């Protein structure tokens, strides 16, 4: 009798356990679905006044903002995928803008979707083609040395041909990006190069890694690299995360080094002030966050100041 009751008790416990587990799975599934619905709702509310733009829509260009951004009919903004041109205040801003105006202003363009529909500023993200000729506008700007190739990890379409066009333009010193800087800026650039910064740790001979310029880092998502550039903008967020922005200030930075609060005691007091204005090298895997390349810094051995 005792054995019988014991067996019954075990069976009862097993049944209760199964019911609890099933309930947890059920409600967990409901919570996940609810979270997904909330995420979709939030995403829709981010750009409430920006309508859907079907793939390969043909639109009239009404205004050019800079070398990679323009407005279409209705006043909506489009950011050209696959390239990056100078913002206002940088050497090649005007010449790139002028060329884009020549190519597309008051003309119809075909707007081809990439992996993402819009960015955080509600700009449509599109590969851009002249509707009457089929010419790839971004590719043309890179060929002429007025923009550089810039791709997120998920964007692979046209990457090879645009990256190859940049390589050819760079090697042949074509256009403002590679040879056409105003004399004053070119002299400043040459002085920086002639300074011959020395590096002790983050060099290919020791690490076995390639060194790339900060503004080219976006071409190497997912790869372990050494990224070199000047930190021109640095700040600490409300969550105490430190962001070291290279070559351009946020949100136009070429590349970012990120130090989370949990790792900052290793870097000394106020790393956002210590590294600001210095030319540094950062080692690590290049990741993509909101369309920009970054490396997470967990240890000071990943960063070195040029001397």
Tens place of pLDDT for every residue, the chain, 307 residues? 545 445 555 665 556 666 665 555 454 444 434 444 443 444 445 577 889 999 999 999 999 999 999 999 999 999 999 999 998 888 899 999 999 999 999 999 999 999 999 988 899 999 999 998 899 999 999 999 999 999 988 888 999 999 999 999 999 999 999 975 544 444 444 444 445 789 999 999 999 999 999 998 988 999 999 999 999 999 898 888 999 999 988 888 899 999 999 998 888 888 999 999 999 999 999 999 888 999 999 999 999 999 8
Residues 6+ apart with CB under 8 A from 82: 127, 138, 139, 149, 150, 151, 155, 158, 159, 162
Mapped onto helix, strand or coil, the DSSP state of residue 66 is coil
pLDDT at residue number 90: 85
pTM above 0.95, yes or no: no
CB distance 59 to 126 below 8 Å? no
pLDDT at residue number 188: 44
CB distance 162 to 148 below 8 Å? no
Any idea where the domains of the chain sit in the sequence? 57-175, 204-305
Bin 302: left if φ > 0, else alpha if -120 < ψ < 50, else beta. Answer: alpha
Ranges assigned E (strand) in the chain:
57-64, 69-72, 76-80, 82-84, 108-118, 124-130, 148-150, 211-213, 224-236, 242-246, 255-259, 279-285, 287-289, 292-296, 303-305
Distance CA 262, CA 241 (A): 9
Give the CA radius of gyration of the chain. Answer: 25
- Measured between its terminal Cα atoms, the distance across the chain in Å is 86
pLDDT at residue number 37: 47
Task: Please give the positions annotated as active site.
Answer: 79, 87, 123
Task: Output the CA–CA distances (angstroms, integers) from residue 103 to 97, 135, 140, 144, 250, in the order listed.
Answer: 10, 10, 9, 12, 28
Mapped onto helix, strand or coil, the DSSP state of residue 24 is helix
pLDDT at residue number 46: 59
| 63-73 core/surface letters (b: 16 or more CB in 10 A; e: else) | ebbbbbbbbbe
Bin 214: left if φ > 0, else alpha if -120 < ψ < 50, else beta. Answer: alpha
Q: Residue 63 is encoded by which pair of tokens?
A: 């205004």
Rounded-to-5 percentages of helix, strand, coil across the chain? 40, 30, 35
CATH architecture of 57-175: Beta Barrel (2.40)
Fold for domain 204-305?
A: OB fold (Dihydrolipoamide Acetyltransferase, E2P) (2.40.50)
């Amino acid at each position: 009798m005792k054995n019988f009751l014991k067996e019954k008790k075990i069976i009862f416990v097993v049944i209760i356990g199964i019911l609890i587990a099933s309930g947890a799975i059920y409600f967990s599934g409901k919570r996940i679905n609810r979270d997904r619905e909330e995420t979709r709702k939030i995403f829709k509310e981010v750009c409430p006044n920006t309508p859907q733009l079907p793939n390969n829509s043909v639109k009239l260009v009404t205004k050019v903002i800079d070398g990679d951004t323009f407005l279409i009919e209705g006043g909506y903004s489009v950011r050209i995928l696959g390239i990056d041109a100078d913002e206002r205040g940088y050497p090649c801003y005007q010449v790139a803008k002028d060329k884009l105006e020549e190519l597309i202003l008051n003309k119809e363009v075909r707007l081809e979707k990439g992996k993402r529909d819009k960015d955080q500023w509600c700009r449509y993200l599109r590969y851009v083609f002249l509707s009457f000729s089929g010419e790839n506008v971004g590719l043309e700007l890179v060929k002429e040395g007025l923009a550089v190739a810039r791709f997120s990890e998920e964007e692979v379409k046209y990457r090879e041909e645009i990256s190859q066009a940049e390589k050819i333009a760079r090697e042949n010193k074509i256009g403002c990006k590679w040879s056409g800087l105003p004399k004053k800026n070119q002299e400043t650039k040459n002085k920086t190069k002639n300074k011959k910064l020395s590096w002790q740790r983050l060099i290919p001979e020791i690490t076995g890694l390639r060194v790339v310029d900060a503004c080219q880092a976006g071409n190497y998502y997912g790869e372990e690299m050494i990224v070199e550039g000047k930190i021109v903008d640095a700040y600490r967020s409300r969550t105490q995360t430190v962001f070291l922005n290279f070559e351009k200030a946020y949100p136009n930075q070429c590349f970012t080094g990120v130090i989370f609060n949990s790792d900052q005691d290793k870097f000394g007091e106020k790393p956002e002030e210590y590294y600001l204005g210095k030319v540094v090298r950062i080692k690590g895997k290049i990741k993509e966050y909101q369309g920009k390349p970054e490396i997470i810094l967990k240890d000071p051995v990943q960063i070195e100041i040029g001397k």
